[in-house]
């Protein structure tokens, strides 16, 4: 099936590799045969079985300049499957005159940005799946608690650009927006506001209204599937103190096996099915996106996860999808877990997989019930007693890091079998700061509220104190008050003695 876009005939689905009408020069960039019989500029090149029969005249014109002015870009494209299918510059960058970011470039109307809507001309299914994922909605962080940190607490309005005369925070522009994406602003001459471009954030809001950037994973201009399958690609965003999936993967047995045997992973294979084309180790793509003998590739990375570990309290993914109005709201966590188990079972037996999920669920329940839920209640009750501005008090930072940094590390660590991140970077840090900073800060607020002379604050202090007493006297926390029962103390002592005796004999 073919589609006419901006005067160019493009296959709706390019599923393989075409024989180009020109050849690679020593395996590097293409040498364009400018003597190729030319069609009239208004005639589209006829389509082949797969891809286009030859490069369009418009793309030949682009290449004539860009191979001189941008040889690196030209080389990247020359090694791509786009090149081998005769998909050139114009097929991707062609724009309609009415497009918000369109401008005239040497008698051709183009846009700099290639949005998911543009990619959908050929990759409709992939874009549809991506549009239903959390990846495509990552730009919505711009109104979140995280962005208040970058815009206000860390930043100022010192970065003034044409579309932001009141200024922007350089911390947000260069930090948050480069992973999550921002709304790209177009200037009158078709150029893009420097506060919003360059930007390959995966949730970028494009001038055509589409959300996302395919190039966040498939880097311009080679758009390599092999690169998107490599865990380093995910590490652009999924790393650091609040979501160190890349580091967790490297610690796990999966990551250890991958990096020791990367040459056996067959990353360049057009058909990349776990258990058939490779078996040494899974990558991020293997588990969350790539094909199995029973599942097709998906660009909705949430369809195989059974917990959403982003918020303070872990929730089921369909609940998060419903809040964002995503189609995944109709797909329950049990089905998603079965999807992931189908990946695991290519290398592990069912007992191993089922037991892993018992361990995983137990850690999530521990974190939710012992720290997250009571912590949220206590933090809310403390609101009338602390400074009213967000991040205006130590308590704000302590609680934020407990769930946003340490709690996430624990939850992501267990989900990917990284024991050090689960424990020492995770639950240990959560417990340490819960007991040594969070609880003492709450106790101090209680005392200040009681002594304030303000009836409203005195009442708030009593409510907080009552809840604090309830939490600390729960079985999860009463050790902190020295209230371990004699029976439990005796059992722990006996266990320690048995452990020592084992190694004495």
d(CA 373, CA 17) in angstroms, rounded, equals 53
Check residue 20 and give its pLDDT.
34
Check residue 147 and give its pLDDT.
77
Strand, coil or helix: what is 308? strand
Check residue 128 and give its pLDDT.
97
Q: Are strands 8-11 and 2-5 parallel, antiparallel or unpaired?
A: antiparallel
* Bridge partners, residue 110, by sequence: 94, 103
**DSSP string for residues in 379-433:** HHHHGGGS-SSTT-SHHHHHHHIIIIIIIHHHHHHHHTT-HHHHIIIIIHHHHHH
Taken as a whole, the chain contains a residue count of: 505
d(CA 412, CA 240) in angstroms, rounded, equals 12
Check residue 29 and give its pLDDT.
36
d(CA 376, CA 374) in angstroms, rounded, equals 5
Check residue 10 and give its pLDDT.
45
Nearest to 390 by CA among 147, 140, 139, 158: 147
Ordered by start, the domain boundaries in the chain are 2-94, 351-472, 480-505
Q: What is the pTM assigned to this prediction? A: 0.88
Check residue 484 and give its pLDDT.
85
Check residue 22 and give its pLDDT.
33
Q: Are strands 159-161 and 8-11 parallel, antiparallel or unpaired?
A: unpaired
pLDDT in tens, 322-351: 999 999 999 999 999 999 999 999 999 999
Q: Which long-range contacts (CB under 8 A, 24 or more apart) does 392-398 make?
A: 394/437, 394/441, 395/438, 395/441, 395/442, 395/445, 398/433, 398/437, 398/438, 398/441
Do residues 227 and 215 make contact, with C-beta atoms less than 8 angstroms apart? Answer: no
**Tokens read off for 339:** 């999807």
Nearest to 112 by CA among 7, 18, 213: 213
d(CA 304, CA 357) in angstroms, rounded, equals 13
Q: Give the pLDDT means over successive 10-residue stretches in the chain (505 positions).
A: 43 37 33 34 51 93 95 95 95 94 94 95 96 94 79 95 96 94 92 95 96 95 95 96 97 98 96 97 98 97 98 98 96 98 98 98 98 98 96 97 98 98 98 98 98 98 98 96 90 90 82
Q: What angle do CA 336, 401, 473 make, to 5 degrees?
A: 90
* Bridge partners, residue 24, by sequence: 30
Nearest to 463 by CA among 363, 351, 382: 382
Helix axes 57-69 and 71-78, enclosed angle (nearest 10):
130
């Amino acid at each position: 099936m073919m589609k006419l876009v901006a005067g160019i005939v493009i296959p709706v689905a390019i599923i393989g590799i075409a024989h180009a009408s020109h050849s690679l020069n020593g395996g590097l960039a293409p040498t364009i045969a400018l003597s190729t019989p030319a069609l009239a500029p208004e005639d589209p090149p006829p389509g082949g079985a797969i891809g286009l029969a030859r490069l369009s005249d418009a793309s030949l014109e682009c290449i004539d300049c860009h191979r001189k002015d941008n040889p690196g870009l030209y080389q990247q494209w020359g090694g791509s499957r786009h090149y081998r299918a005769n998909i050139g510059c114009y097929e991707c960058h062609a724009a309609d005159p009415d497009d918000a970011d369109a401008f005239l470039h040497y008698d051709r109307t183009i846009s700099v940005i290639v949005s998911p809507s543009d990619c959908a001309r050929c990759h409709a299914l992939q874009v549809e799946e991506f549009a239903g994922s959390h990846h495509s909605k990552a730009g919505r962080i711009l109104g979140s608690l995280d962005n208040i940190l970058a815009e206000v607490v860390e930043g100022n309005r010192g970065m003034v650009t044409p579309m932001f005369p009141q200024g922007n925070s350089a911390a947000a522009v260069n930090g948050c927006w480069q992973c999550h994406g921002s709304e790209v602003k177009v200037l009158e001459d078709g150029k893009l506001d420097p506060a919003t471009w360059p930007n390959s954030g995966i949730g970028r809001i494009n001038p055509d209204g589409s959300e996302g950037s395919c190039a966040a994973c498939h880097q311009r201009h080679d758009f390599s599937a092999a690169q998107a399958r490599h865990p380093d690609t995910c590490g652009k965003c999924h790393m650091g103190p609040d979501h160190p999936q890349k580091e967790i993967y490297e610690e796990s047995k999966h990551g250890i096996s991958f990096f020791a045997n990367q040459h056996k992973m067959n990353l360049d294979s057009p058909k990349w099915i776990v258990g058939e084309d490779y078996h040494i180790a899974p990558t991020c793509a293997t588990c969350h996106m790539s094909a199995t003998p029973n599942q097709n590739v998906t660009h909705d990375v949430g369809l195989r996860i059974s917990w959403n570990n982003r918020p303070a309290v872990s929730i089921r993914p369909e609940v998060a999808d419903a809040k964002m109005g995503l189609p995944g709201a109709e797909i329950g966590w049990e089905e998603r877990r079965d999807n992931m188990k189908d990946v695991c079972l290519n290398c592990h037996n069912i007992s191993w997989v089922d037991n892993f999920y018992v361990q995983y669920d137990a850690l999530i329940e521990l974190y939710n019930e012992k720290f997250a839920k009571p912590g949220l209640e206590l933090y809310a009750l403390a609101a009338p007693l602390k400074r009213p501005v967000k991040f205006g008090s130590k308590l704000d930072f302590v609680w934020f890091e407990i769930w946003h940094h340490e709690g996430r590390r624990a939850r992501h660590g267990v989900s990917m079998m990284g024991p050090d991140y689960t424990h020492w970077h995770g639950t240990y840090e959560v417990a340490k700061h819960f007991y040594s900073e969070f609880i003492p800060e709450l106790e101090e607020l209680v005392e200040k509220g009681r002594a304030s002379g303000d009836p409203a604050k005195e009442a708030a202090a009593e409510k907080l104190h009552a809840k604090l007493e309830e939490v600390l006297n729960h079985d999860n926390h009463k050790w902190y008050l020295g209230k371990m029962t004699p029976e439990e103390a005796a059992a722990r002592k006996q266990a320690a003695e048995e452990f020592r005796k084992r190694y004495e004999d």
